Amino acid sequence: MGLNNPLKIVMLAAEASPFAKVGGLGDVIGSLPAALGNLGEKVSVIIPAYRMVLSGSFDLHPCGKVSGFDVPMKSDSAYASVYQTRFERTDVDIYLIESPRYFDRSGIYTDSETGDEYPDSMERYVFFMKSALELLPRLEQPVDILHCHDSHTSLIPGLLKINHRADPFYAGTRTLLTIHNIAYQGIYSKESLDYAGIDSSHFFPMSPFEYWGKVNFLKAGIELADKVNTVSRTYSMEIRTSPEFGMGMEEVLRRREDDISGIINGIDCNEWNPETDPLIPACYSIHDLSGKAECKKQLLQYFGMPQLPGRVPLIGIVSRLTDQKGFDLIQEAVGEITNLDLQLVVLGTGQPQYHSLFRQLASKYPQKIAARFSFDNALAHRIEAGSDMFLMPSRFEPCGLNQLYSFRYGTVPVVRATGGLADTVVPYGSGSGTGFSFSGYSSSEMMIAIRQALTVYSDPARWRALQIRIMSQDWSWDKPAREYVQLYRSIHL
Ligand code: ADP
């Protein structure tokens, strides 16, 4: 596919692993481009040059073709400098847009000291989008597909249609918007259009740029992109059919029903591979899981927890600590959880209420519950490797990646069957089960799934068979990347 006539695809996003990552978006932008490259397509990526990128140990250099340019921002302007490098072991170029005013900060979206979102998010990402559209013609490489991701880049289809309408460089360019999480829509005052350079005549009731008297970047993208997709089939249906999931976008999505699809995320099977992972204390494979026992032992030691007598499972959680992820269910069920023979380790950062919840639980039940509140990729790998089960009781989950990493590491997911979790975890008991799941968002249903997992865990032969089944699945990008190519080709001129 693609080899004779490669598509020229540019991805625009706020994150790309390993340069800058907060959640699954970063993983996807860090791995999908290489998979598309393997299929013969020509992909490059543009992200902001946050402080953590510039001060990290990446081999960045100033972009040879374009050193920088001024970008008008309302009545003012800001200078964009351009850096460039490649994703390791690939021929995927990544361009990084620097601006001391907008990106030289300790965090990506939020102030790492206070946890608060930066008050000028709108300006930051409008600047990023306009800079990216200014950069591409200067690079003199034609673009077939601009692949936008989430609200930080979802004004791009509108900017193309309005500000770059007459630009011959973009005459053959089509747009795809991928929604990774509809909860973050980028809703700002009407003034944001002044920053974007979009005339206020475009702001009127029911126009793509108007949403209850404000401007909603995601809505504008949904209305104006040539196609839209989300990161699982179930989530693509949930957000169209229920206000609980669609968060005000259901009607807008329904209007574009024929242009919306769901493509499940793949994973980077080099980074997440227990046979070669340099971040875990002992490697292991489907044929010999002895290294996993060593990983568990060292993980318990790291968290200062004892190895309890008998066959006691360790449950892992690695997550943003937000309402989306279902921690209120754990809070509700804590009495029951701590009465069971199990241990729980948590890694995450997010809402202060969940930091204090897990801090309190860890100090009340030091033998059973431990937590770390940081962003720590190496520890995330060690938790995947050292845990027996992985808990994701999400209220909603567009795709979810940790259940897929868990599969690779022989760590059995216990999940709420929503969005991508419903599409990837087959409930145990069906013969081909790959995890334990529950449907209703309730702590009692969650506890039924956890108890079922404990029952199977207590039988080593059944557990081993389950581990073999989950480890032998293929969740690589191979299939989803082919689906993206089909989608690109369906809009390509
Ligand atoms: P979301 O994008 O909603 O946060 P996903 O499951 O799609 O959820 O992806 C989360 C990604 O972020 C995974 O790679 C997970 O390991 C990682 N992650 C989340 N929190 C942390 C953390 N505190 N430290 C390290 N990695 C984390």
Does the CB atom of residue 23 touch ligand 1 within 6 A? yes
Report CA torsion sign: 11, 80, 151, 352: positive
Q: How far is the CA of 187 from the centre of ligand 1 (A)?
A: 24
Protein residue closest via CA to atom 20 of ligand 1: 319
In sequence order, what are the beta bridge partners of 149? 178
Provide CB contacts within 8 A for 281, sequence distance 6+.
Answer: 294, 295, 298, 382, 385
Residue 146 has pLDDT above 80, yes or no: yes
Give the pLDDT band (50/70/90) at residue 91: very high
Q: Is the pLDDT of residue 322 over 90?
A: yes
Q: Rounded to whole angstroms, how far apart are CA atoms 211 and 247? A: 13
CATH fold group of domain 290-471 = Rossmann fold (3.40.50)
Cβ pair 240, 254 in contact under 8 A: yes
**Mean pLDDT of all residues in 82-96:** 97
- With tokens 């993980």, the residue in question is 299
Which residues, in sequence order, are bridge partners of residue 68? 81
- Indicate if ligand 1 lies below 6 Å from the C-beta of 376: yes
What are the sequence ranges of the domains in the chain? 8-266+478-491, 290-471
Residue with CA nearest ligand 1 atom 26: 377
Q: Kindly report the CATH class assigned to 8-266+478-491.
A: alpha beta
State the amino acid at position 325 in one-letter form: K
pLDDT digits (tens, 9 = 90+) for 114-137: 888 999 999 999 999 999 999 999
Confirm or reject: Cβ of 319 under 6 Å from ligand 1.
Answer: yes
Ligand 1 within 6 A of 400 CB?
A: yes
CB 186 within 8 A of CB 216: yes
Phi-psi domain of 332 (left: phi exceeds 0; alpha: psi -120 through 50; beta: other): alpha
Q: How far is CA 471 from CA 172, 380, 405, 418, 426, in A?
A: 43, 18, 10, 22, 14
List, for residues 219-265, the tens digit of each pLDDT value: 999 999 999 999 999 999 999 999 999 999 999 999 999 999 999 99
Give the CA radius of gyration of the chain. Answer: 23
> Which one of 17, 21, 22, 27 would you pick to mutate in the ligand 1 pocket, going by the greatest count of ligand atoms within 8 A of its CB?
27
CB 283 within 8 A of CB 277: yes
- CA 335 to centroid of ligand 1, rounded, Å: 27
Q: Is the CB of 31 under 6 A from ligand 1?
A: no
Q: Is 401 in the pocket of ligand 1 (CB under 6 A)?
A: yes
Nearest to 351 by CA among 336, 331, 378: 331
Task: Judge if 8-266+478-491 and 290-471 fold alike in CATH terms.
Answer: yes
Average pLDDT over residues 167-193: 97
At 21, is the secondary structure helix, strand, or coil? coil
Q: What is the pLDDT of residue 14?
A: 98
CB of 161 within 6 A of ligand 1: the answer is: no
The band of 2, judged by pLDDT with boundaries at 50, 70 and 90, is very low
State if pTM tops 0.85: yes
| Percentage of the chain exceeding pLDDT 70 | 99
